Structure 1
Amino acid sequence: MPSYYTAIVLLVVGNLAASLSDVAVKLINGELPTFQYVFIRQLLSVLVLFPLWRMQPPSARPLVHRKLTLLRAHLVLIGSGCMVVAITHLPLASANAVFYAAPLLMLPLSAMLLKEPPTKSKLLASLIGFGGVLIVLRPSEFHWAALFALGTAFTLALFNVTARKIPKTQSVISNLFWTSLLSLPVSAILALTFWQPMSAKTLLLTLASAGLILSYNGLAVMAYRRASASNIAIAENSGLVFVTAFGVLWFNEIPDGFTALGIVLIVTPLLPWRRRRQAVAVPR
């Protein structure tokens, strides 16, 4: 399978996990302080990744590109905190509408940081996809928490774009392990400052959300290493389809005509026939 199509599949599966993580955070419903949630999530990531990291050859374990990894670790902290606030105080659909600005933000970021200017067709496809997001998830009114949702979108876009600068000699496991480990000192201090007792249900939801978002991060790193950000960023919008389905199944949110139109606008640029015609331009 060409690298482009593999990267698309990885991002779609990752967005399924991220959508389920959002549902878990919504179900927590603010019962856990934001910093406590973020610390538990990062700690679980380290505990899960450590044995996998140790199983690798010694040459694959060292921390590579320390400054960049440290930056990405704290992007995770900022984005996670903003995400919890946004999902807690906004409807799930409204929060996700802003989150899905990330692919659009990745276009200028990839041009500035990676020297990968998007073609007119990619820019148009991303604008159509983002327009579909707005149609489906239509935020009804401005809320202060929307600024936190925008913060999540920006940090997610920057996290994904900078994945392309990570040397290919560093494995995905090592990258995620070091990113999670470097985030612990700051997250631990903030969590201890606001620590509160939690119920078993809240703990389980937090652990589930942490595991799901860890899966997304790993899949995203693999995807953006296989193809340029401007080529595959639009696949991030696949999460919209999952969010819509979860709304039907769990929250009785039946899509209307505008929702169906929005899904069509988002999915159409991802159809295989479109990329086959552009196959010559896709990096291998």
Structure 2
Amino acid sequence: MAGALWMVLAAVSFGLMGVFVKLGAATLDAVALVFWRTLFAVLLLGGVALLRRQRFATPQLGRHLKRGLIGYTSLLAYFHAISHLPLSTAVTLNYTSPMFLALLSVLLLKEKLSRHALLALLLGFVGVTLLLRPTFDGAAWQAGLLGLGSGLLAGWSYLHVRELGQAGEAEWRTVFYFALISTLGGGLLLLGRPWQPLTAANLPWVLGLGATATVAQLAMTRAYKVGRKLLVANLSYLTVVFSALFGALLWQQRLGVGELLAMALIIVSGILAGRR
């Protein structure tokens, strides 16, 4: 139950994070948005850790590095998708992660794939195909593929989050090292690029992005540590619902029958995957 409640909080926060990404994308690209988002977390979590005299040293540095690199690449692809697609579409593509989590659990952890899981993957594939169809008919096909790729990488990243939790790693250190690795990666990518300054117009969006992302990351990490892996992963689909509501309220992004059907299939696939 505790894991479920933490994931609900994470879903709300991730939905709000998408709103701030879309607002900030008017003046900042995905690389800059990821940089500021993760720098916020590094300063906040690092500052709190110093005040509490917590230890930064960890025997899990290798796992943190793997998780950080995979998670950073996923975040870049996700922010690009949000910037160029309707919010609910980008979020749904990213939240194919539970479907990929089930698949990767079989491929990497040698878990058994049941009939429910096979049906889940089939429904998820159909849903993704329906959802991506409009992007391939238009000019946003690249953003659509990157959105789907972010879901695959996020599912892979969650496996490492689970391993870190099972190894007894503190949640704040898991989030801190992810943010630190992502900030360093973003800083390297920003070198040699035209500087995109923070202004009075985009600073509120960057601060909102940093705050909601940090809360979401902490809540998600806690959920995977104390909750059942696939149950928690299924509840992450609530972010799709919140994002659809935010998109409709803020940008009048209405969902057609095909999009609703696609989202429903992807959500059902996650539920079935959780029963395996």
Please give the TM-score of this superposition, normalised by the length of structure 1: 0.79
Correspondence 1:219-230 to 2 at 5 A: 219-230=219-230
Partner residue of 1:80? 75
Distance in 2 (alpha carbons) for counterparts of 1:227 and 1:52: 26
Counting only pairs closer than 5 Å after superposition, residues 153-192 of structure 1 correspond to structure 2 as 153-166=151-164, 167-192=166-191
Q: Which residue of 2 aligns with 1:14?
A: 10
Does the CA-based 8 Å contact 2:119-2:269 persist in structure 1? no
- Residue among 26, 30, 34 paired with 2:30: 34
Deviations 1:89-117 (A, max 9, x none): 22223322321221111101122333443
Tell me, in whole angstroms, the C-alpha distance in 1 between the residues paired with 2:238 and 2:124. 10
User: Once the 2 structures are TM-superposed, how far is the Cα of residue 49 of structure 1 from its aligned partner?
Assistant: 0.3
Separation (CA, whole Å) in 2 of partners of 1:33 and 1:254 = 25
1:197 aligned counterpart, secondary structure: coil
CA contact (8 A) 2:99 2:120 kept: no
CA distance in 2, matches of 1:85, 1:168: 33
Aligned-partner SS, 2:201: helix
Which deviations, in whole Å up to 9, do the C-alpha atoms of 1:179-232 show, x marking residues without a partner? 222333332122233222342221221221122122222222112222443343
1:151 matched to which residue of 2? 149
How far the C-alpha of 1:127 sits from its partner, in A, is: 5.9
Residue type matched to 2:218 in 1?
Answer: G
Instruction: Report the Cα distance in structure 2 between the residues aligned to 1:260 and 1:106, rounded to whole angstroms.
Output: 23
Paired residues for 1:192-271 under 5 Å: 192-194=191-193, 195-254=195-254
CA contact (8 A) 2:87 2:244 kept: no
Partner letter of residue 90 of structure 1? Answer: L
Sequence identity percentage: 25
* C-alpha distance in structure 2 between counterparts of 1:7 and 1:119, whole Å: 24
**Closer/same/farther in 2, CA of residues 82 and 214 from structure 1, 3 Å limit:** same
Task: Tell me the alpha carbon deviations over residues 22-74 of structure 1, each in whole angstroms, 9 at most, x when there is no partner.
Answer: 1111122342133222221111111110133235565x542231111012122
Using a 3 Å threshold, how does the CA distance of structure 1 residues 256 and 141 change in structure 2: closer, same or farther? closer
Distance 1:144 1:184, change over 3 A: closer
8 Å CA contact retained: 2:11, 2:239: yes
Determine if contact 1:117/1:230 at 8 Å carries over to the other structure: no
Label 1:123 to 1:9 Cα distance change in 2 as closer, same or farther (>3 A).
farther
The letter for the 1-side match of 2:81 is: A
TM-score (norm 2): 0.81
More moved, 222-231 vs 170-179: 222-231
Gaps of 5+ in 2: none
Read off the aligned partner of 1:16 and give its amino acid letter.
Answer: V
The CA RMSD over aligned residues, in Å, is 3.1
Segment drifting more, 243-252 vs 97-106: 243-252
Shift of 1:172: 0.5
Residue 101 (str. 1) matches residue 100 (str. 2): no
**CA shift digits 1:152-186 (9 cap, x unpaired):** 11221111121111154321012211222233333
Q: 1:104 to 1:237 in 2, by over 3 A?
A: same
Q: Is contact 1:70-1:182 (8 Å) kept?
A: yes
For 1:29 and 1:116, the matched residues in 2 are separated by: 40
Query: Which residue number in structure 2 is paired with residue 50 of structure 1?
Result: 46
Q: Secondary structure at the match of 1:196?
A: coil
Name the CA shift for 1:201/1:114 in 2 (closer, same or farther; >3 Å). farther
